[in-house]
A and B are shown apart, each in its own frame.
Chain A
Amino acid sequence: MLDIKDLKVSIDGKEILKEINLKVNTGEVHAIMGPNGSGKSTLASALVGRDIVKIVKGSITYMGENLLELSPEERARKGIFLGFQYPVEIPGVTMVNFLRTAINEQRRFKNLEPLSSADFLKLMREKQELVGLQSKLTDRSVNEGFSGGEKKKNEIFQMALLEPKLAILDETDSGLDIDALKIVANGVNKLKSKDNATIVITHYQRLLDYIIPDFVHILYKGRIVKSSGKELARELEEKGYEWLSEE
């Protein structure tokens, strides 16, 4: 599904990712772990096409297509979703208006009729339940006045609505209490299928107690220095990141 080859990326002229190689197949969950500043979020940014990220070298192929040629909205319409580390507050844009526009733009891309208001609201309620987001969203602006936990749940809620093929969750666990963490993880697990894939980016192992990865990669100073099964996460938790520099 996703094939990253020799990816070299810089931000503001500073080289952040040095040489990334990563393959993700459908049905898989990959965890990318690493200390602060190792380039985790930069990798997520490169995948969704943020313009501050400059691709110096390498390629990203997604479902047989050159991903780097696509705009952020085209990537989203083709099924890529990013759960933001810091979801943006957008005063004045209501959740309903925002999400309905998003769903209908994606439906248009798939040559489907737009959803009616009633159908959309029904779908919204359904998905809200799935991720345990109880807040009344109809009158609220996107992320405005949301608590940290609500913001993260809101990301998973949007993911549930948009049903992506490849979901990238950037530090979705940060700022969550244990109950919220379980709810978020539960949401991710329910959405998992053999046709989609998830990349979980995290600093800590604790989210991986609930979302069980098939592969764990350690990103360190812009390079994937180790890839293994889920046991690697536990090893990291015990030893910390220091041992990486020793190896």
Chain B
Amino acid sequence: MSDVNILTDIKKELIELYNYNSGQINSNVGLQVNSFREKALSDFNVAGIPDRKNEAYRYTNMEPFFKGDYISEFSHDTFFKINLKEIFRCDVPELDTYVVLLLNGFYYQGNGMQILPENITVCSFAEASIRYPEIFEKYYSQNASTSVDGLVALNTLFAQDGIFVYIPKNTVLEKPLQIINICYSFKNLRIFRRNLIVAEENTKANIIVCDHTLCNRSYLTNSLTEIFANDNSFIDYSKIQNENSLSTQISNTFVNQQKSSNLTTNTITLHGGLIRNNIFVNLNGEGSENNTYGLFLCDQQQHVANYTYIRHKKPYCRSNQLFKGILDGKATGAFNGKIYVNIDAQKTEAYQRNNNILLSADARMNTKPHLEIYADDVKCSHGATVGQLDNEALFYIRSRGISQKEAKFLLMYAFANEIISKINVEYLKERIINLVDKRLRGELSRCNNCNIKCG
């Protein structure tokens, strides 16, 4: 059977799954969320699961990852019986954060609805869609067009829960908000997670997202987060992906920035089966600045792909992309980075860099910069490298009595540190240093936080 047929079958299966469960799915959320389903269905029907003919997925073959034997759960009650506090604890006690747990894509009921100081709201996406129709009307699905990508359409079709964060005008989130996504189920599970984060004018927030799989099962996560950064907002969004080798994660992040806003995403991929990050940024207001950073470490048969699309729509904006990867074993990676500068976006500064190190002869990396510039007064640059550890440097280090293994580690760590150093929450940085350290030394093969020793 050809790939196309398999994907067509999967598409049919997913559409049937939706049609069969639409009553349940639609009943949990507000009208605004349901109003996008029809278009999402028809867009998904056209696009389907992306295959390699899709330019954006040229290096990422999704087909084998959708084939598995997964179940889906649409009732909010199913997972609510689980007491997460018994099976999970964050092992960074110094990390003073507001912690919110999400279980299999659902906002964990044990969190309750959190009204943080200064009326900052953190709650279930489903609940918010009913409670705050005016906010959903203004923001929901406004930036994540379902015609862009079949997987965006698929998420919008099934969207019913996740996290909702609302930071009202002139407020500062004093402590970082830590969102912990947990996959916990003894059956292979499909997860659709939908998040909406809105930062109004003059706000500041640090958001940390951690992904964990707590069982040795296969999870297929299709996650979509929309972030709206309004005028003069400063948002720092770090994502730490640490999943088991059986799992697949498609993470779509849509960022919409207004005037003089400043938003940084930093995606640290420590472990996972297949991880595909799509980051779309719209610089919609003059003087806005975006930093999109990423670090990925992969080995065995893992595949990590980062796809970025930074769109400069207004003048005087600045964007910086830096992605670094270390690949070992038979791992494969891809970076596909696009900068688009509108005809009116004069005085744009847009930079992109992707550096990769291959530690084995079997590891492969594909990197593809793509610049589309229509304005004439801009500064743009891009650069990509794929190489090995520097032999001269290795020898220099060894000549001082440091073992080859340790010398390699020093060089890999130095390479990774350029990204880690950009994390601005001190305890998180230390934690990441520690995790990357373990990962590079081959001591991290599962989530550290897990009390269930699943292997």
Chain B residues with CB under 8 Å of A91's CB are 414
B382 sits at the interface (CB 8 A): no
In whole Å, how far is A98's beta carbon from the nearest beta carbon of chain B? Answer: 7
B400 sits at the interface (CB 8 A): yes
Chain B interface size band reads 20 to 34
In whole Å, how far is A73's beta carbon from the nearest beta carbon of chain B? Answer: 5
Residues of A47-106 whose CB lies within 8 A of B: 48, 50-51, 71-73, 76-77, 81-82, 84, 87-93, 97-99, 101-102, 105-106
Chain B residues with CB under 8 Å of A102's CB are 397, 400-402
Query: CB distance A162 to B401 under 8 Å?
Result: yes
Out of A84, A99, A141, which one reaches B396, CB within 8 Å?
A84
Out of B390, B399, B414, which one reaches A82, CB within 8 Å?
B399
B415 sits at the interface (CB 8 A): yes
Residues of B355-413 whose CB lies within 8 A of A: 390, 392-393, 395-404, 406-407, 410-411, 413
In whole Å, how far is B215's beta carbon from the nearest beta carbon of chain A? Answer: 37
Query: CB distance B404 to A93 under 8 Å?
Result: no
A158 sits at the interface (CB 8 A): yes
10 shortest interchain CB distances as A-B pairs: A92-B414, A76-B401, A102-B400, A88-B396, A72-B398, A93-B414, A106-B401, A77-B401, A73-B398, A90-B393
Query: CB distance A76 to B399 under 8 Å?
Result: yes
- Residue of A73, A82, A99 with highest tally of chain B CB at under 10 A: A73
Query: CB distance B403 to A105 under 8 Å?
Result: yes
Chain B residues with CB under 8 Å of A84's CB are 396, 399
Chain B residues with CB under 8 Å of A141's CB are 414
**A88-B390, A88-B395, A93-B397 known, 7 other contacts, Cβ within 8 Å:** A73-B403, A76-B398, A77-B401, A88-B392, A90-B396, A93-B411, A93-B413
In whole Å, how far is B409's beta carbon from the nearest beta carbon of chain A? Answer: 9
Chain B residues with CB under 8 Å of A48's CB are 399
Query: CB distance A92 to B392 under 8 Å?
Result: no
Chain A residues with CB under 8 Å of B392's CB are 88
**Bound CA–CA A91/B397 (angstroms):** 13
Interface string of A137-148 (1 = CB under 8 A from B): 000011000000
Chain A residues with CB under 8 Å of B398's CB are 71-73, 76
B interface residues with partner A (beta carbon < 8 Å): 390, 392-393, 395-404, 406-407, 410-411, 413-415, 417-418
- What are 27 of the A-B contact pairs (CB < 8 Å)? A50-B395, A71-B398, A71-B404, A72-B398, A72-B399, A73-B402, A84-B396, A87-B396, A88-B396, A90-B390, A92-B411, A92-B414, A92-B415, A92-B417, A92-B418, A93-B397, A93-B413, A98-B397, A98-B400, A99-B400, A101-B406, A102-B397, A102-B401, A105-B406, A106-B401, A158-B400, A162-B400
In whole Å, how far is A57's beta carbon from the nearest beta carbon of chain B? Answer: 24
Chain B residues with CB under 8 Å of A76's CB are 398-401
Query: CB distance A90 to B411 under 8 Å?
Result: yes
In whole Å, how far is B399's beta carbon from the nearest beta carbon of chain A? Answer: 5
Out of A73, A89, A99, which one reaches B404, CB within 8 Å?
A73
Chain A residues with CB under 8 Å of B396's CB are 84, 87-88, 90, 142
In whole Å, how far is A142's beta carbon from the nearest beta carbon of chain B? Answer: 8
**Bound CA–CA A99/B418 (angstroms):** 20
Interface string of A11-29 (1 = CB under 8 A from B): 0000000000000000000
Chain B residues with CB under 8 Å of A51's CB are 395
Chain A residues with CB under 8 Å of B415's CB are 92
**Bound CA–CA A87/B395 (angstroms):** 11
In whole Å, how far is A45's beta carbon from the nearest beta carbon of chain B? Answer: 9
**Bound CA–CA A89/B395 (angstroms):** 12
The residue of chain B having its C-beta at the shortest distance from the C-beta of A90 within the complex is: B393
Query: CB distance B401 to A97 under 8 Å?
Result: no
**Bound CA–CA A162/B407 (angstroms):** 17
**Bound CA–CA A73/B410 (angstroms):** 15
**Bound CA–CA A106/B402 (angstroms):** 8
The residue of chain B having its C-beta at the shortest distance from the C-beta of A91 within the complex is: B414
In whole Å, how far is B134's beta carbon from the nearest beta carbon of chain A? Answer: 48
**Bound CA–CA A106/B414 (angstroms):** 22
In whole Å, how far is A3's beta carbon from the nearest beta carbon of chain B? Answer: 21
Query: CB distance A97 to B404 under 8 Å?
Result: no
Chain B residues with CB under 8 Å of A106's CB are 401
Chain A residues with CB under 8 Å of B414's CB are 90-93, 141
**Bound CA–CA A141/B224 (angstroms):** 39
**Bound CA–CA A89/B410 (angstroms):** 13
Query: CB distance B402 to A101 under 8 Å?
Result: yes
In whole Å, how far is A134's beta carbon from the nearest beta carbon of chain B? Answer: 22
- With contacts A88-B393, A90-B396, A92-B417 taken as known, whether A98 is within 8 angstroms of B401 at the C-beta atoms is no
The residue of chain A having its C-beta at the shortest distance from the C-beta of B407 within the complex is: A73
Query: CB distance A73 to B393 under 8 Å?
Result: no
The residue of chain B having its C-beta at the shortest distance from the C-beta of A82 within the complex is: B399
Out of A73, A88, A89, A90, which one reaches B401, CB within 8 Å?
A73
In whole Å, how far is A77's beta carbon from the nearest beta carbon of chain B? Answer: 5
